[in-house]
Amino acid sequence: MTTTDRTNFASGAPLSRRALIAGAGAAGLALAGGRRVFAAGAENTLKVGFVSPRTGALGGFGETDGYVLEVARKALASGLTVGDKTYEVKILDRDTQSDPSRAGQLAKALINSDQVDLMLATSTPEVVNPVADACEAAGVPCLSTVVPWEAFYFGRGAKPGQPSPFKWTYHFGFGTEEFHKMYVSQWNLLETNKKVAVLYPNDADGNAIRQHLAPLLAKDGFTIVDAGPYEDGTTDYSAQIALFKKEKCEIFNSFPIPPDFAAFWRQAAQQGFTKMVKICQVAKAGLFPDGVVALGALGYNQANGAYWHKTFPYKSSLAGVSGVELADGYEKSAGKQWTQQLGASLSLLDAGFDALKKSGDAKSKDAVVKAIATLDTTTIAGKVDFTHGPVPNVANGPIIGTQWVKAPAGSKFKLDFLVTEHVNDPNVPIGAKLRPYNS
């Protein structure tokens, strides 16, 4: 380049080499569309793993995660400020494909190859527990949600009354006490004979619920008719249905994976059990609209519990959106009905990034895990307080009574998801009265 080429044509003065470099940097920033440019190097970048089931039998839990992660990444586009330093943030999301072994393998790869600073995991023990175990073994801070906390805590080897064996892994959300309060509140909304047919699988969820929840319900005057543990993937439920009919159970409760409930409930209809059921209370399988819609008329009036609903009166501390804004944004983007996992996944990101900010040193695993252990914050799903957990490493979260009902004519979707009780968080508005299943 000649001296003439370097001339500033507005002033006629030659440009220095420093000015040229500065100009090139400014041009690069403009070409980047105004995005913030971060200093290179691992010490200036925070890596956060996010593990969930996007496909497979549990894929309903992860269906909305792509949108939630888009919201989070947009909120973090300018980086995350911790103390006096601003970091570039990379969220490394991984799909377990509903396979517990794969969940553990993905977690180990995120730890060893990607060297994440924080791990986030959500949705069922089949995802959360192997991820948490990998983090515990490697000394990496891990925060999780959407598992009954007993399945996370006791399901991984902790013993009642003994010190926590976990240093690095923390969990927030509902437990059997929240289910217990919600079920009693919801079931007392209708007159029944209080006989409860329970179909609990032989897995971490089912075993935790059988051990901890069923006895509480019995103390409240409900007769528990337990058909015994069954294996995931069972295809013939005739024996269980015969028992429930014989006992004339008017309430049904289960914690199955979605394909198992669909098989059971269709057989229950064929064999006449659904006609006597006044309350069909399904956890796990009845969480999301697609699975309920797939049942046709058998899905109408199915009662459920929501760990998040778009009417929760809280905003995301990370993205600043309300529940209605999050749900409406997803429906506009995806063309599908909102699900409760939207708020749950965003609440995990809310809590995780708040812990990073409060750590004072986001690159110190000790500082980050200490911040999680003392975290007291409000997410889009409500309060997360590890200073008053039921056991170490756990913070409680609500379950709200809900029901799927047939949407009115002209509605965009086939179902409405309505709040019917709120004993675990009275701040959540009740939207409708509980209807009998067999009405």
3-state secondary structure of 337: coil
Same structural domain, 142 and 269: no
Name the DSSP letter for residue 296: G
Same structural domain, 19 and 98: no
The answer to whether residue 436 sits within a structural domain is no
**259 contacts 230 by C-beta, under 8 angstroms:** no
The answer to whether residue 429 sits within a structural domain is no
Q: What element of type H or E holds 15?
A: none
The answer to whether residue 146 sits within a structural domain is yes
Same structural domain, 75 and 138: yes
The answer to whether residue 5 sits within a structural domain is yes
pLDDT for 176: 87
Same structural domain, 167 and 205: no
Q: Please, is 332 exposed, middle or buried when counting C-beta atoms within 10 Å of its C-beta (0-12, 13-18, 19+)?
A: exposed
The answer to whether residue 88 sits within a structural domain is yes
**The pair of three-digit structure tokens given for residue 228, joined into one six-digit string:** 């015994």
Rounded Cα distance between 316 and 73, Å, is 13
Number of domains in the chain: 3
Rounded Cα distance between 390 and 89, Å, is 32
Locus of tokens 């994440």: 116
Question: Which tens digit of pLDDT belongs to each residue from 366-398?
Answer: 999 999 999 999 999 999 999 999 999 999 999
The answer to whether residue 136 sits within a structural domain is yes
The answer to whether residue 246 sits within a structural domain is yes
The answer to whether residue 72 sits within a structural domain is yes
pLDDT for 23: 43
Provide the residue range defining the domain that includes 196.
177-310+399-421
Same structural domain, 222 and 341: no
pLDDT for 37: 64
3-state secondary structure of 171: strand
CATH of residue 216's domain is: 3.40.50.2300
3-state secondary structure of 47: strand
In order along its 439 residues, the chain shows pLDDT tens digits of: 444 443 333 333 444 444 434 444 443 433 344 456 666 677 899 999 999 999 998 899 999 999 999 999 999 999 999 999 999 999 999 999 999 999 999 999 999 999 999 999 999 999 999 999 999 999 999 999 999 899 899 999 999 999 999 999 999 999 989 999 999 999 999 999 999 999 999 988 888 889 888 999 999 999 999 999 999 999 999 999 999 999 999 999 998 888 899 999 999 999 999 999 999 999 888 899 998 999 999 999 999 999 999 999 999 999 999 999 999 999 999 999 999 999 999 999 999 999 999 999 999 999 999 999 999 999 999 999 999 999 999 999 999 999 999 999 999 999 999 999 999 999 999 999 999 999 8
**350 contacts 125 by C-beta, under 8 angstroms:** no
Same structural domain, 304 and 327: no
Rounded Cα distance between 144 and 309, Å, is 19
Same structural domain, 235 and 286: yes
Same structural domain, 197 and 234: yes
Same structural domain, 4 and 52: no
Same structural domain, 147 and 51: yes
**What residue type is assigned to position 111 of the chain?**
I
293 alpha-carbon distance from chain centroid: 21
Same structural domain, 348 and 238: no
Same structural domain, 216 and 71: no
